[in-house]
Structure 1
Amino acid sequence: MGRGRGGGRGRGGFRGKGKKGGDRGPVRAEPWSDIPRENELYENYYKTGGFMDEEEFEEMWKYMASDLPNSFRFTGTKAEAHAVREIFKQRYIPAIKDVEFEGKTVPPPEPVEAFPDELVWHMKTHKKVIRRHKPFAEFQKFLVAETTAGNISRQEVVSMIPPHFLDVRPGMVVLDMCAAPGSKSAQLAEMIHGDEEERVQRAASNESFNPTEGGDYSDDGRSTGLLIANDTDVKRAGMLVHQVKRLNFPNLIVTQHDASIFPSIEMPPAPGSSKAQYLKFDRILADVPCSGDGTSRKNVNVWQKWTPRDGLGLHGLQLRILMRGLQLLKKGGRLVYSTCSMNPVENEAVVAAAIEACGGNDKVRLVDCSGYLPNLKRKPGMNKWKVLDTSNVNNGEDKIHHNFTSWESFQSTKEKYAESEPNRQFSSKITRSVFPPDEKSEIPLERCVRVYPHLQDTGAFFIAVLEKVNDIKVAQPGSITGQASTPKPVAESETATPAPLPPVDGEPNGAASPTKRKLEDVEEDAQPKRVKTEAPSAETPVEQSTKESSATPAASGKEMTARPKADNQGLQKEYFEYIPKDDPTVAGIFDFFGISDRFPRDRFLVRNREGLALNKMYYTSELARTIITRNKDRGMRFVHCGVVMFVSHKIKEAAKQAAWRLQGEGIKILEPWASKRIVKCTSRESLHRLLIEMFPMLPKDRKHNLGEVGDQLYELEVGCCFLKVDKRDGEDGFPFSMVLPIWRHPGSANLMVDKDDRKAMLLRLYNEQEPQLINHVAEKAKQDALKEQQDAEASAGAEANGEEEGDKPDVAVAGEDAVMTSS
């Protein structure tokens, strides 16, 4: 590849045959393993672009052409994550260490040293080994089961870095601008909630604790923080909801908006004022759409399809997203900008252009993050780079590759070819902002972080941490990219966020952003086999919310809010309505379970237009309630909020008890405040029986096999209960505390846990690889059906023999105490 300043044929450019720029050819048909991991243009750009010396580059490129190790992270609360990690270490690692393959010892999974507490692991085991050796197969089954249960996240190592650099603490308000598929959002949610479970237990027991130690737990031990996870695509937003719902965290809202024009969120006026305020965030993650050329170890299509125009085409969108993030950031707040690309056009160029547009280092500064994840091996950001472009004639023929070092060299080269080859076309996406900033800008781009594959056997990643030092005046996008001669700043108000930026490069505000990755952070095995969706009903509309207006607000700094279009546009609105705190249904539920008056009653959300408690009730945080209530009719597209706490249970005995059951997602939040219907399980045998059997019998003679659990259930009327399992060390104990919903039927009991979760718990707690669940209701139904068939056959035989209709025997009818299944 030429290294000349201008990039012309005599000054460093070279010709190449190929398709028209941007045409990536046909869809891949051959297996991934057969795709050659070679691309001369891709390799030469990073070899000669000043990224590292030649010897180090050769080492790095060997890693780039090799398979990426599988990696995973233990998730959830600290106590649960550590407990599941210990089960993994004690049960599976010793067995795996003894495996040999083709005469060599197979390396077991190892903790990634860059992350604390051995919560992140990776393994390089080939699939052939996993298939042939039982210890690996058993470990794989454990990994899949815990991923389904939400205790493990199959996530690439480098994608775990940005949340650590954000330095999130409980009580902070955080925005994840481009959140799907949700692995980073899960990390952020864990950080926001912190160790609130322990503090809530102390608060509910009236024990003293410091509500501001390590964060803000002033809501009776609960974190006051909030995560808003956003994605522009409705399908990807659905994937995001599936990922974060497994964590059972109420301080969470999922939205669906173009991140580059993310709407301002209205908040109540300040005391003594009637003017609305707008939410500013403590922390923002902008993990933006990128070319993904650092993912070639897992996405081999990069080798076939990489072109320099990938990064150039995304630069403008990335810059708009970053600028919008800085507008939404609170003064003193921190924003992490990240990509899985190595191209400085998508990285340092975007960061430098944003800082310059905001007014320089006095307004927005790059943070030195060498103190975060100190064991992470990294390289500094670049201050100089070249911009690669491929010009062509006649729709892709006679290609020339150019390396430009400055905007001026690009302009002069275009002028030269305009005279000699007027039909030669250059990329229309090259703007002033894709080049290194002027040396006078003094932006310390070396504070950015570059992670390369050879440093710790990962993919490639870029991270920059920006702090908003002062209020900013944002130049219009045209002046940022070099398409306008005179910047026109837009002032930022103290009380209102400026309106979203207008489009760049002629792209409409409502245009869908390109895919975030060529292949997402979530590994293939981590994708759910099926996503359970709620059936359409009056409470759960199928479609997303109405589209917001795409009209561009005036650049005056005055808050402009998009209003929803009329319902006759063919879209159904998603409804998010809060139940009044004096609602009799909620009061009845609280009385039935003995819920303390200290537990808030005004945070229960339903999903129907009328705001009625019909099917499900979601519990949310106070800040989430404020945001939903004030912005539900302002054009915001809310997709998900809170956790399901109560579900309607339609049964015959409903007149005698609260006809609502506890839901596994929210039960741990509620249990510390409950005084009734608490059943304690102290025996491993009793819990095992409840897991392995569905609807075990509770006969009237009290001869049952449910141990201490059955004895307690006899003293309770029909309805749902808390099954509480306390942590206890030793072989006969439990590795961590659990709270599960259990239903007391007239003649049976049933743990309200689905089959997949039952099997995961049996594997986790009892090491049962292939448990056979017993469903007493299903067995009884089979027997009844068989008897009915036999009776019908006998009746038909009698008729054939001439017996009269009146001589038929009566069919037994199930009595009132028959087992009732849950809805």
Structure 2
Amino acid sequence: MWSTLATDLPNSFRFTGTKSDALAVREIFKNRYIPAITAMKFEGQPVEPPKPVKAFPDELVWDMKTDKKIVRRHAPFADFQKFLVTEAASGNISRQEVVSMIPPHFLDVKPGMVVLDMCAAPGSKTAQLAEMIHGDEEERVKKAASGESPNTGDGGDYSDDGRSTGLLIANDTDYKRAGMLVHQVKRLNFPNLIVTQHDASIYPSIELPSAQGEKKQHLKFDRILCDVPCSGDGTARKNPGVWSKWTPKDGLGLNNLQLRILFRGLHMLKKGGRLVYSTCSMNPIENEAVIAAAVEASGGTSKVKIVDCSHLLPELKRKPGLTKWKVMDTSFDTGSKETTAHLFSSWDNFVQAHFKNEQSESTRNFSNKIVPGCFPPTAESEEGRIPLENCLRVYPHMQDTGGFFVAVLEKVGDIKVAQIRSSSNEADLKQARAALENATPSEFESNDKANGEVPTREQSPLKRKLDNDEDDDTAKRSKTDDAPAEPVVSAVEELPSKPAPNGSDTRSAPSGKPKPEQQSQNKEYFEYLSADNSDVTRILDFFGISDRFPRDRFMVKNSEGLLLNKLYYTSALAKSIINQNKYRGMKFVHCGVIMFVAHKVNKDRDLPAPWRLQNEGIRILEPWASKRIVHCTSKATLYKLLIEMFPILPKDGAHKIGEVGDQLMKLDIGCVFLQIEQTEGEDGFPFRMVLPLWRHPGSANLMVDKDDRKAMLLRLFNEKNPEIINHVADQAKAKAAKEAAKEEEEEHEQTKEATEEATEEAVEAVEAVDENDDADGDVKMEQGDAIDVDA
């Protein structure tokens, strides 16, 4: 493990498993980039190309272990990197660490389920969960729209014309991190998603609509992901700073927060539901100790079961959870400023050491974060034993990854509301002290060896000052030299509490007390329009949208509920939850997929629907459309539309956009669905596409931004650095240049006229002088005149 930790972490990425185009992109990647890299050699040896990770099915997860010095020197890697970046922006690829992909797989999410991601930012696991909730929705909806049954026999609820009836709520306590989360998930275009901003340990109950006079009902979740803040020691390969500041005590300050988040999740879980708890730490205080304490607080294994997940991802190499561990503490002597390291195997050992210290009237202080729940659980019978071995651990050296811990919990009985203990051990020690009042000194002496106490600082090769401020909930971090295997006394300057460096998917502990809520300054408005809204009706009628498509799920984001610029679409359950809870203190950060955007037109031109279809929502709407449909059958035509913005479409005369132009000539001004079907052959398309296109009076334009155009040109035509032609921008530049030239010409004329006037004045002055010449040629001088010889 030490050898592996000293090496770079392989780069890994995942293809979006529920999008047909993403799977086609995977084939493009395999056929275009893998052969180019495989053909390379470095120092006479073949270069290892990216390979699929065997632990995950369907070749959806890949990693690359090639040395950085090779990557930097060879062009095929530059091409591969460009491909990764563009496809990640398009939503076909997620760049994610291999071990962070494990928890969503173990949740076993099915379409139609209601799922909560409690600590979701930055959002890579959230994206996985969203994909699982929607499943192969596009194919199901297409069947429903054509009159076929959308049911696939997988147990999902497809009663909403093939659409997933499920919902994913993704939460993060920090507003900025919640913003990162929104940025990550928006590219996936899922309407069944809500992003909230709350402290996960006290996540509010979500109220469901109920009839007047009925008892209030609250939302319970089928699945919950509890990927909690942690010390992050499992990320040391990509965040070396974590290891340089690591101490065995780091988990003590986080244990209580992790337990409170997990316990809150168990309360919100349905009976029979599944919760996955995970960390990127290998510290049992943050892992097995939290699981055991939560199970005990819930009422034992008759209420919460630790699921044996050995059959899930069978190719994943793993170790069972720990059932025995010791808790490390470093006591601090306020008099001598000395520190002493201790390893306690049980709560009793810790209490006895405390009691012995008080009896001797020592000035030595122990941690106030060590509580009974930090230690391995004890059971009087096999029936009451908590099977922590059913948890799993992934160590870095097992399959060249980061370190990770996962536990799968199933709620089998109702849990009574219980008070989770304080993060301080004061009450626990008071109770234990009372029980030990009659103990004899010999009992303490017999336990010294078990305590693992290092009695003097001189016996330790490392010395450090202990930061004895234990009131913060975050782990204290100190720099160390190369630490030996066993914890020992050490000494460095006191450092303030810092969270672990935050990687692409690393959970870091929040620093200090939670910040005050920022609801007032970060307020988002979500107002739904009525099903018979005249503007919505006019838009949908313009595109011939079937009456079966729901018209009561359109939303705007302004407090007045006015259709101004953007029109969003959400699922029915998302609408129900937002309407019921937006005045109950819930902090909704994001919901909805953009379906239409207002199109600015000349005031003198009256269009039946001055609204543009948007890439984000076009696939949701397109199966139900019967009007404004244009077919593209040639790759040459699509290339022309991608490489050239605003190609000319004159009223009379020829155009250069093939079969698309022929169809547009018959349509009025406005937006259209550009349908591109999957076809075989060299001129065929590898997957089906639907794109928005606007028909102008004298031109046409694909409503795809420049970056997406370049991504499609790279994906379909292998154009690495395309120059996008923009006729409107070029005309604007030409007009500006013409005006600038005209201004320059006018300025030149003005300068010329001024020069001529000055010349005339100079000539007149010379002639005046000549008139004053004497007959002998001398110039008559007035007193005070001066002669400029050079002039």
Which range, TM-score by smaller chain? 0.7 to 0.9
SS at match of 1:132: coil
Cα displacement (A) at 1:80: 2.0
Deviation track 1:99-139 (CA, whole Å, cap 9, x = no partner) reads 11123221110100000000000011122212211111111
Q: 1:411 aligns with which of 351, 370, 375?
A: 351
Cα displacement (A) at 1:86: 0.4
Q: Which residue of 1 aligns with 2:264?
A: 324
Contact 2:256 2:422 in 1 (8 A): no
Q: Which amino acid aligns with 2:273?
A: G
Q: Which residue of 1 aligns with 2:765?
A: none
Deviation track 1:489-526 (CA, whole Å, cap 9, x = no partner) reads xxxxxxxxxxxxxxxx9889xxxxx9986323349xxx
Q: Which residue of 2 aligns with 1:582?
A: 532
Contact 2:242 2:500 in 1 (8 A): no
Cα displacement (A) at 1:481: 8.3
Identity level (%): 67
Q: Does 1:422 align with 2:362?
A: yes
Deviation track 1:462-495 (CA, whole Å, cap 9, x = no partner) reads 0000000011113211289866569xxxxxxxxx
* TM-aligned CA distance change 1:735 to 1:396, over 3 Å: farther
SS at match of 1:682: coil
Q: Which residue of 2 aligns with 1:812?
A: none
Q: Which residue of 2 aligns with 1:493?
A: none
Q: Does 1:617 align with 2:567?
A: yes
Matches within 5 A, 1:323-722: 323-394=263-334, 397-420=337-360, 422-440=362-380, 441-478=384-421, 484=427, 518-522=501-505, 547=517, 571=521, 573-652=523-602, 655-722=606-673
Q: 2:16 aligns with which of 72, 75, 85?
A: 75
Q: Which amino acid aligns with 1:447?
A: N
Contact 1:546 1:572 in 2 (8 A): no
Q: Which residue of 2 aligns with 1:130?
A: 71
Q: Which amino acid aligns with 1:651?
A: V
CA RMSD of aligned residues (A): 2.4
Name the count of aligned residue pairs: 681
SS at match of 1:310: coil
Q: Distance in 1 between matches of 2:335 and 2:406?
A: 37
Q: 2:193 aligns with which of 233, 249, 252?
A: 252
Q: Distance in 1 between matches of 2:605 and 2:233?
A: 59
Cα displacement (A) at 1:615: 1.1
Q: Which residue of 2 aligns with 1:48?
A: none
Q: Which residue of 1 aligns with 2:674?
A: 723
Cα displacement (A) at 1:79: 1.5
Q: Which amino acid aligns with 1:263?
A: P
Deviation track 1:658-709 (CA, whole Å, cap 9, x = no partner) reads 1111111000000001111111111000111111011111122231110011
Deviation track 1:253-286 (CA, whole Å, cap 9, x = no partner) reads 00000000000000012x6852220000000000
Contact 1:451 1:462 in 2 (8 A): yes
* TM-aligned CA distance change 1:725 to 1:421, over 3 Å: farther
Contact 1:678 1:724 in 2 (8 A): yes
Q: Distance in 2 between matches of 1:124 and 1:118?
A: 17
Q: Which amino acid aligns with 1:215?
A: G
Q: Which amino acid aligns with 2:395?
A: Y
Q: 2:711 aligns with which of 748, 760, 765?
A: 760
* TM-aligned CA distance change 1:477 to 1:624, over 3 Å: same
Contact 1:679 1:709 in 2 (8 A): yes
Q: 2:222 aligns with which of 259, 263, 282?
A: 282
Q: Which amino acid aligns with 2:82?
A: K
Q: Distance in 2 between matches of 1:418 and 1:84?
A: 68
Contact 1:547 1:635 in 2 (8 A): no
Cα displacement (A) at 1:224: 0.4
Deviation track 1:319-368 (CA, whole Å, cap 9, x = no partner) reads 00000000000000000000000011000000000000010011011011
Q: Which residue of 1 aligns with 2:487?
A: none
Q: Distance in 2 between matches of 1:83 and 1:73?
A: 13
* TM-aligned CA distance change 1:517 to 1:763, over 3 Å: farther
Matches within 5 A, 1:146-161: 146-161=87-102
Q: Which amino acid aligns with 2:222?
A: D
Contact 1:291 1:518 in 2 (8 A): no
Deviation track 1:762-800 (CA, whole Å, cap 9, x = no partner) reads 000001111111111111111111211222233344455
SS at match of 1:656: coil
Deviation track 1:205-263 (CA, whole Å, cap 9, x = no partner) reads 11233266341111101010000000000110000000000101110000000000000
Q: 1:295 aligns with which of 235, 238, 247?
A: 235
Q: Distance in 2 between matches of 1:602 and 1:395?
A: 71
Q: Distance in 2 between matches of 1:679 and 1:348?
A: 58
Contact 2:392 2:405 in 1 (8 A): yes
Q: Which residue of 1 aligns with 2:723?
A: 772
Q: Which moved more, 1:436-445 or 1:375-384?
A: 436-445
Deviation track 1:399-431 (CA, whole Å, cap 9, x = no partner) reads 222111001111111223335572222221111
* TM-aligned CA distance change 1:225 to 1:240, over 3 Å: same
Q: 2:46 aligns with which of 105, 108, 125?
A: 105
* TM-aligned CA distance change 1:394 to 1:105, over 3 Å: farther
Q: 1:794 aligns with which of 726, 738, 745?
A: 745
Q: Distance in 1 between matches of 2:752 and 2:724?
A: 44
SS at match of 1:164: helix
Q: Report the TM-score, using the length of structure 1 for normalisation.
A: 0.80
SS at match of 1:735: coil
Q: Which moved more, 1:650-659 or 1:748-757?
A: 650-659
Contact 2:368 2:425 in 1 (8 A): no
Q: Distance in 1 between matches of 2:337 and 2:700?
A: 74
Q: Distance in 2 between matches of 1:396 and 1:729?
A: 81
Contact 1:357 1:480 in 2 (8 A): no
Q: Does 1:745 align with 2:701?
A: no
Q: Distance in 2 between matches of 1:442 and 1:288?
A: 25
* TM-aligned CA distance change 1:212 to 1:584, over 3 Å: farther
Contact 1:181 1:522 in 2 (8 A): yes
Contact 1:254 1:639 in 2 (8 A): yes
Q: Which residue of 2 aligns with 1:26?
A: none
Q: Which moved more, 1:467-476 or 1:259-268?
A: 467-476
Q: Which amino acid aligns with 1:451?
A: V
Q: Which residue of 2 aligns with 1:165?
A: 106
Higher CA-based Rg: 2
Cα displacement (A) at 1:454: 1.3
Contact 1:546 1:637 in 2 (8 A): no
Q: Does 1:210 align with 2:151?
A: yes
Contact 2:328 2:344 in 1 (8 A): yes
Q: Distance in 2 between matches of 1:601 and 1:506?
A: 54
Q: Distance in 1 between matches of 2:751 and 2:79?
A: 58
Q: Which residue of 1 aligns with 2:783?
A: none
Cα displacement (A) at 1:801: 6.0
Q: Distance in 2 between matches of 1:698 and 1:80?
A: 30
Q: Distance in 2 between matches of 1:395 and 1:619?
A: 66
Contact 1:81 1:119 in 2 (8 A): no
Q: Distance in 1 between matches of 2:498 and 2:680?
A: 47
Cα displacement (A) at 1:732: 1.1
Contact 1:177 1:230 in 2 (8 A): yes
Q: Distance in 2 between matches of 1:546 and 1:723?
A: 48
